[in-house]
Amino acid sequence: MPQYDPIAQKVYVNLQDKNIFAIIDPATDEVVGRYPVGRCEGNHGMTLDPEHHAPSSRAKGTTL
């Protein structure tokens, strides 16, 4: 499920098949950032800390 950062006004999306987070600017519908989740496979379930603009995900028993 995408997460909206109300402070940065960006949408964070967990792309499980690519093992990355993508950041979308909803004003332009453009991807403004892509961040790998490291050696993690099967990342799922995402939360967001808007104050720190920090997404977090779960993956095969690991928290990123």
What is the structure's pLDDT at 24? 96
DSSP string, 4-61: EETTTTEEEEEETTTTEEEEEETTTTEEEEEEE-TT--S-EEEEEETTTTEEEEEETT
Distance CA 46, CA 42 (A): 12
Which tens digit of pLDDT belongs to each residue from 8-28? 899 988 888 888 889 999 999
Answer left, alpha or beta for residue 53, where phi above 0 means left and psi between -120 and 50 means alpha.
Answer: left
Closest to 24 in 3D by CA, of 37, 10, 36, 38: 10
49 pLDDT more than 80: no
